[in-house]
Amino acid sequence: RVYWKEKKMVGMNLSYSAENGLTATEGIKANQEVASEISTKDIARKHLQDIPRLRTLLSETHLNLTQLTPSMTDIWEKSRILKLLTELSNHHRQAGKGQGSQQTPQSIRCNKQPRGDKISISNALKVVNYARSISFRRFNMKNEGTGLIMGTLLKNQSILEINLSHNQINPTGAETIAIALKQNRSLQSLNLEHNQISSQGAKAIAEALKINSTLQQLNLRCNDIQDEGCGCMARAITVNLRLAVLCLADNNIGANGAKWLGQALKVNRGLCELNLDVNYALNAGTRFLALGLQKNRTLKVLSLSINQIDDQGVMWLARALKNDFTLSKLFLEANKIGLAGLREFLEIVPSGDKTKKLSLLYNKSIPPNAMEVLGIMKNRANIDF
């Protein structure tokens, strides 16, 4: 690894495996010697003279823009590294013409910006022309930056994954994302966890999902979409058969939201994994989900940890899965399940079947010697508690 830094910044971290590249120790030593005398751009210009090394550097790994210090508040200072990467990318494309797609960076990550200003984001986007995965996690971009990135998504049909988590994106930003999703035909994974899209933003994205036919994974964890937003997503997956993984954890979803999801599961034929951790499904919501599972044959992973579910809710799930246990993994951790709930699952989980996994960890009402209490000599089923 080569570490280049100046007085006010920890610059670029460009990882590569070239045979003639610097080792980590050599890189740190060189950095200490030149940091106060030679600018980042001078070092970059020196390496630009070695085109073969540059090709290897950009093609075998990814560009990682990280660790910009909070004291770097000047826009020009913050964008210098991003401009430099643009220069590197341009040289790379000119030198790599005719060499095929393997000469291009596959992943670009832009992290921990103190302020996601328009100039920094614009410069960062100049190097994503051929990237497959881009991450702007904790970039503080809010709505303006979201618009810039979605504009790039509309122009660039090669991007497969985007991470926009922890960016204070509100419903207006979510509506911008929805517009892009309606037109884009390449994106497969979108991470929007820990934003502020609320039920209004969830509604906009849900409408886009009715049109989009390529997105396979959507993460809306911790966005406060509540029951209303959950209902919108439920209606969307009755139409969208492409989405395979949906995370709605920590969204203040109650029994009504679980009810709408249960109804959607009856007709959905595409969803394989559903995460509803840290919500308020309770026993009532669990019953509606169980009714949906009775008719669903595609869902393989269901997570309902921390939902205040007790033995009554487990009974509903056990009855639904008794005749056809299609789920491969069921997580009910940190609920209020006791010995009666454990007994219900012991009766339906096939003995010795290691393809089925049930987790009842952190349910304090289940004692460590539960098998002995229940009169069972050995836990033959794949149940953790």
Q: How do residues 226-277 score in pLDDT, each as one tens digit? A: 999 999 999 999 999 999 999 999 999 999 999 999 999 999 999 999 999 9
- Predicted confidence band of residue 57 (pLDDT cuts 50, 70, 90): very low
- Please compute the mean of the pLDDT values over residues 38-66 and round it to a whole number: 45
**Residue 352 pLDDT class (50, 70, 90 cuts):** low
**Res 28 pLDDT > 50:** no
Q: Residue 212 has what pLDDT?
A: 96
- Mean pLDDT of the region 105-124: 56
Q: Which helix (H) or strand (E) holds 217?
A: strand 217-219
Residue 157, pLDDT above cutoff 50? yes
Q: Is 110 helix (H, G, I), strand (E, B) or coil?
A: strand
Which whole number is the average pLDDT over 17-27? 43
Most confident segment among 19-33, 92-106, 112-126, 345-359 = 345-359
Q: Looking at the predicted structure, is the pLDDT value of residue 346 above 90?
A: no
For 27, other C-beta atoms within 10 Å of its C-beta total 15
Whether residue 22 is predicted with pLDDT greater than 50 in this model: the reply is no
Residue 101 confidence (pLDDT): 39
**Average pLDDT rounded to a whole number, residues 142-160:** 82
State which of 36-45, 75-84, 156-165, 294-303 shows the largest mean pLDDT: 294-303
Which pLDDT belongs to residue 317?
A: 92
Which residues are CB-neighbours of 216 under 8 A, at least 6 positions away? Answer: 188, 189, 242, 243, 244, 245
Residue that wins the pLDDT comparison between 27 and 330: 330
> Region 16-39: what's the mean pLDDT?
44
Neighbour tally for 137: CB within 10 Å: 17
Task: Assess whether pLDDT exceeds 90 at residue 4.
Answer: no
- The Cα–Cα gap between 321 and 327 comes to 8
Please report which confidence band the pLDDT of residue 121 belongs to, taking 50, 70 and 90 as the band edges. low
Q: How far is CA 169 from CA 141, 153, 172, 199, 324, in A?
A: 8, 17, 8, 13, 41
The residue-averaged pLDDT of 185-199 equals 96
Q: What percent of the chain clears pLDDT 90, i.e. is strictly above it?
A: 46
Which pLDDT score is estimated for 7? 33
